[in-house]
Structure 1
Amino acid sequence: MKKKNNVYYLIAIPAFVLFFIFHTYPALQGIFYSFTDWKGYGDWSFVGLKNYLNVFEDGRAGDAYLFTFKFAILATIIVNIISLVVAMGLNSKIKFHKTLRAVYFMPYILSILIVGFIFNFIFAHFLPQLGEMLGLEFLSKNILGDPDLAWVGIVIVAVWQAVSFNTILYLAGLVTIPEDIYEAASIDGAGVWTKFWKITFPMIAAFFTINMVLSMKGFLMVFDQIVALTGGGPGKSTESISLLIYRGGFEGGEFAYQSANAVIYFIIIVVVSVVQLKILGKREADN
Structure 2
Amino acid sequence: MAILTTSTVKTEQATADAVPSRPRRKLAPRAFYWFVWPAVIAFALFHTLPVTIGIFFSFTNYAGYGTWDFVGIANYINIFRDDRVLRAYGFSFLFAIVATVITNAISLAIAMGLNAKIKARNFWRGVYFVPYILAVLVVGYVFQFLFSNSLPKILSGIPLFRDNILTSPEWAWTAVVALAVWQACAFSIIIYLAGLQTIPADIYEAASIDGATAARQFRSITFPLISAFFTINVVLSLKGFLQVFDPIIALTNGGPGTSTESVTMLIFRGGFSGGEFAYQTANAVIFFIVITIVSLLQFRVLQRREADF
TM-score w.r.t. structure 2 length? 0.89
SS in 2 for 1:126: helix
1:129 aligned residue (148, 153, 159): 153
CA distance in 2, matches of 1:109, 1:131: 30
Q: How does 1:202-281 map to 2 (within 5 A)?
A: 202-281=224-303
AA of the residue aligned to 2:132: Y
Aligned to 1:78: 102
Correspondence for 1:195 among 217, 222, 233: 217
Q: How far 1:167 sits from its partner (Å)?
A: 0.4
* SS of equivalent residue, structure 1 residue 43: coil
Q: Distance in 2 between matches of 1:147 and 1:136?
A: 18
Secondary structure of the 2:110 match is helix
CA distance in 2, matches of 1:183, 1:44: 70
- Displacement of 1:130 after TM fit? 2.6
Matches within 5 A, 1:172-183: 172-183=194-205
Cα deviation 1:242-285 (Å, max 9, x = unaligned): 00000000011000000000000000000000000000000001
Structure 2 distance, partners of 1:57, 1:197, is: 45
For 1:88 and 1:242, the matched residues in 2 are separated by 34
Indicate the larger mover: 248-257 or 11-20.
11-20
Q: Could you say what secondary structure the match of 1:239 adopts?
A: coil
| Residue 43 of structure 2: aligned partner | 19
Work out the CA distance in 1 between the residues paired with 2:224 and 2:148: 43
CA distance in 1, matches of 2:276, 2:132: 33
1:46-125 aligned within 5 A: 46-125=70-149
Among the aligned pairs, what percent are the same residue? 57
Q: RMSD in angstroms over aligned alpha carbons? A: 1.4
Please list, as runs of the form range in 1=range in 2, the aligned pairs for 1:155-166 lying within 5 A after superposition. 155-166=177-188
Where does residue 149 of structure 1 map in the other structure?
A: 171
Q: Secondary structure of 2:113's match?
A: helix
Aligned pairs for 1:2-13 within 5 A: 5-13=29-37
- Ranges in structure 1 where 5+ consecutive residues have no aligned partner: none
SS in 2 for 1:168: helix
**Residue 32 of structure 1 aligns with which residue?**
56
User: How far apart are 1:9 and its partner, in Å?
Assistant: 2.0
CA spacing shift, 1:122–1:3, aligned 2, 3 Å: farther
Larger Rg: 2
What are the Cα deviations for residues 182-233 of structure 1, in whole angstroms up to 9, with x where unaligned?
A: 0111111101001001000000010000000000000000001101100000
Change (3 A) 1:3 1:113: farther
CA distance in 2, matches of 1:158, 1:136: 23
Q: Distance in 2 between matches of 1:111 and 1:9?
A: 37
What letter matches 2:274 in structure 1? G
- Paired with 1:38 and 1:234, the residues of 2 have a C-alpha distance of 30
User: How much has 1:8 moved relative to structure 2?
Assistant: 2.5
User: 1: CA distance between counterparts of 2:213 and 2:31?
Assistant: 56
Number of equivalences: 285
Q: Which runs of 5+ in 2 are unaligned?
A: 1-24
Q: Which moved more, 1:109-118 or 1:246-255?
A: 109-118
CA distance in 1, matches of 2:269, 2:44: 25
Q: Distance in 1 between matches of 2:142 and 2:32?
A: 44
The superposition leaves residues 6-52 of structure 1 with CA deviations (integer Å, 9 ceiling, x where unpaired) of 33223222222222222221111111100000000111111100000
